[in-house]
Amino acid sequence: MTRLRATTILAVRHKGKTVVAGDGQVTLENSVIKHHAKKVRKIYKDRIIVGFAGATADALNLSERLEKKLEQYNGNLTRAAVELARDWRTDKFLRRLEAIMIAVDDANMYLLSGNGDVIEPDEGIIGIGSGGHVAQAAATALIRHTDLDASSVIQEAMRIASSICVYTNDSITVEEI
């Protein structure tokens, strides 16, 4: 089976703003096959931002399922995320999906995984994907040691990640609430 690798997704809540960014690179084995993929987007009346890492079809499937849960629970991200994670962990088809996602609204930030995880970070910063740890570390340092706003923090952190992680490029999509 061919292994897809890629992605850095970073979410930052800082100074009253929530921003999510994702790089645009998609790799197939040792080759870059796309430079400008959009891995971050707004859903549910533009009130929720999702970013995903992993197999694209799987991630889009999960994003659509999350949006249905949001409709079912009137935009309650916490309830929708928990229900999606429960389904993801228990459904035979969904268990095979190879993706991880971040979902945020103006009050909540969650990492969702097929293990049934719904994790809210302590400091309002979370990164996923191959460069996620680098971007998260950079964002943490920038917030602690500079006076940058959330958008500037996330753009600089993603630039740093793209200079270190070979699966991350500097074609960044940024969405803000």
Instruction: Cite the active site residues.
Output: 7
Helix count and strand count (H, E) for the chain: 4, 12
What CA–CA distance (Å, rounded) separates 127 from 172? 14
Burial 29-68 (b: 16+ CB within 10 A, else e): eeeeeeeebebbbeebeeebbbbbbbbbebbeebbebbbe
Closest to 40 measured CA to CA, from 127, 166, 153 = 127
